[in-house]
Chain A
Amino acid sequence: MNWQISKIDANGLLKAGRNLFQQGLRNTHNRLVMAGLFVGIVFLPFWLYDIIVGTIHGAASLLLVSALGLGLYQLWLQQGHLANLKASSEDRWLGHLIILAGLGATPFCAAAEWSQKLIWVMILCGIAISSWGFNFFPKYPASVFLIAVGLFPQPTTVGKAVWDTFTPPEILERFMAWCGGIGLNLIGQAASVDWTLISLPGGTARVDWGCSGYDLACIAAVTSLLMGLFFKQSFWKTSIIILIGIVLAMIANVPRIMLMTMANAYWGQESFEFWHGFWGGQIFLSILFTVHYYAVMAIVKQKPTKKIA
């Protein structure tokens, strides 16, 4: 059954693609849309390469691809409604202007992945406005948001830059070191904390940005958002799920820091590298997402209370 659906969808996609190509050169609007889509097709191999390389090195690129896929899938399900949406003359003019500006800026933005993505997001906005009108955005906010998240360039780098700019120096690292120190003292270790350094009698470990839990919290937040949308939860429930994801990620990071400090102080370099590296990270992620999954499912299965009239 699933196979049949995917086969039909694949055929539908091919047919739609063929029709689009045939109609692509018929009028100015179609030509501009085709030119805009062509820019995305040209950049796509570079993005795919980055996704594959990033995923191999442990980046959460696939999560963003999932967000993009879910957003596009939701739009695909609305294709009947989309066909009925018509752009007004001013929207068409504005959309064409945005596409033309994007096409003009493409050669200057081709050097870096982030600028390629930004310019293509701009072109996509132009295509959407000129094809379906500006009302497309308030009408499909979830899809628009997911596609924007999926195409957002280097979210972790941007997130770190914004965090560093607007928060006191190393606040998250200091907070995590403080929590780790308290945790170690609770289990009977004589730990002392100085700024971002946690000292045990056997050695000292520094909580760096990578261990601050920020990346983990971001991944948990995006995963929570996707789960909330996938299970068709309300805005408030999705917000609660996201909040739980972030809090759980922060809490889960504390034992990770404690373990790494102890590994550094007592068990040697090899043990520290294991817990600090890919496999250690995966073990913690598995535990975190298992707990997170059950917490999300508990919220999802919770029936809404009915008001008695």
Chain B
Amino acid sequence: MAYVSASVPGKLDGSYSIKNICRVVGLVCVAGFIFDMLVLTLPPQFGVEWRIGVIQQFANRSIILLFGLALIIFGSQGNSTSRMRLMAKVSMGLGVLFFLLSLLSVVDSVRLSQRAVSNISTQESELQTQLRDAQANPEGLPDNVNLEDLTQFSQQLTAQADTLKKNAQRTVLKTGISNIGNLVLVGAGLLALGRGGMRLSRTKG
């Protein structure tokens, strides 16, 4: 006759309860996010392009952080009031940080857009100067190019530069708006999560 050990429900519940699983998954999500961000940010370069790229990656991955923190807070419910409170405060702090990062993202998007437009303008004006020089010295022109052609080139150059400027602005702004939207949304989510977590820790512990 085989001996069947008596089950210890409390101990089993403690070890393999859904809250423990949530805590493990939450920790993995948060640790994975931190690891990803360290890989992306190191070594830091601090340029505008680098910052925009990092913030974009940060914003895209931030939902993992939100999810992980939510699981940790849920997993701490009823087990550890102090941990739950700490994680709630961390969540709120991160939420505020996300809002500040969205401000930085606005600044960087505007700056990058202005820089892109300025670069295109500089190149355009250099080419226009060359065209004007060529117009001023028609004897140096090749046989198959006349002054009318140069005027047409100049107009086409202006039109192309305008299109390029608009495209550059559009691309930068799209990235910026996407980043800001993500950061603000996840930031608000983190604040709400932290607030809810603190309330839970106060009422249930």
Q: B166 contacts A169, CB within 8 Å?
A: yes
Chain A nearest CB from B139 CB (Å) reads: 35
B202 touches A89 (CB 8 A): yes
6 smallest CB-CB distances across A and B, nearest first, come from A90-B198, A165-B173, A101-B96, A90-B195, A94-B92, A165-B170
Which residues from B are CB-within-8-Å of A114? 106
Q: Within 8 Å CB of B89, what residues of A? A: 93
Q: Is the CB of B107 within 8 A of A90?
A: no
Nearest CB in chain A to that of B177: its residue:
A165
CB proximity of A156 to chain B, nearest CB, Å? 15
Interface of B, secondary structure class, is: helix
> Is B132's beta carbon under 8 Å from chain A?
no
Q: Which of A110-132 contact B (CB under 8 A)?
A: 114-115, 118-119, 122
**Minimum CB–CB distance for B176 against chain A, Å:** 9
Q: Using a CB-CB cutoff of 8 Å, which residues 80-132 of chain B contact chain A?
A: 88-89, 92-93, 96-97, 99-100, 103, 106-107
Contact A164 B169 (CB under 8 A): yes
Q: A109-B103, A134-B195 are in contact. Are A93 and B177 (CB under 8 A)?
A: no
Q: Which B residues are CB-close (under 8 A) to A90?
A: 88, 194-195, 198-199, 202
Minimum Cβ distance to chain B for residue A216 (Å): 23
Chain A residues contacting B170 (CB-CB under 8 Å) are: 164-165
Interface size class, chain A: 20 to 34
**20 additional contacts (CB under 8 A) given A97-B93, A101-B99, A114-B106:** A90-B88, A90-B202, A93-B92, A94-B92, A97-B92, A97-B96, A98-B96, A101-B97, A101-B100, A105-B103, A109-B103, A115-B103, A118-B106, A161-B169, A161-B173, A162-B177, A164-B166, A164-B170, A165-B177, A169-B166
Instruction: Report the bound CA distance from A119 to B100 in whole Å.
Output: 9
Question: A153 to chain B: closest CB distance in Å?
Answer: 10
* A90-B199, A115-B103 given; A165·B96 CB < 8 A: no
CB distance from A208 to the nearest CB of B (A): 13
The CA of A73 and the CA of B100, in the complex, are separated in Å by 30
CA–CA, A109 to B191, complex, Å?
22
B92 neighbours in A (Cβ, 8 Å): 93-94, 97
For the complex, what is the distance from the CA of A8 to the CA of B184, rounded to whole Å? Answer: 42
Contacts of B99 in A (CB 8 A): 101, 122
Indicate which residue in A122, A165, A169 contacts B174 across the interface (CB closer than 8 Å). A165
Minimum C-beta distance from B180 to chain A (A):
11
Cβ of A78 within 8 Å of any chain B Cβ, yes or no, is no
Is A185 in contact with chain B by the CB < 8 A criterion? no
- Contact in complex: B199, A88 (CB < 8 Å): yes
User: Which partner residue on chain B sits nearest A170 by CB separation?
Assistant: B166
Using Cβ atoms and an 8 Å threshold, which residues of chain B touch A98?
96
Q: Given the complex of chains A and B, what is the CA–CA distance between A91 and B177 in angstroms?
A: 29
Interface residues of B in 144-175 (CB under 8 A from A): 166, 169-170, 173-174
Q: Is the CB of A115 within 8 A of B107?
A: yes
Taking the closest CB of chain B, its distance from the CB of A234, in whole angstroms, is 28
Q: Could you pull out 13 A-B pairs where Cβ atoms are within 8 angstroms? A: A90-B194, A90-B199, A94-B195, A101-B97, A105-B103, A118-B106, A134-B195, A162-B173, A162-B177, A164-B170, A165-B169, A165-B177, A169-B166
Known: A101-B96, A164-B170. A118 touches B191 (CB 8 A): no
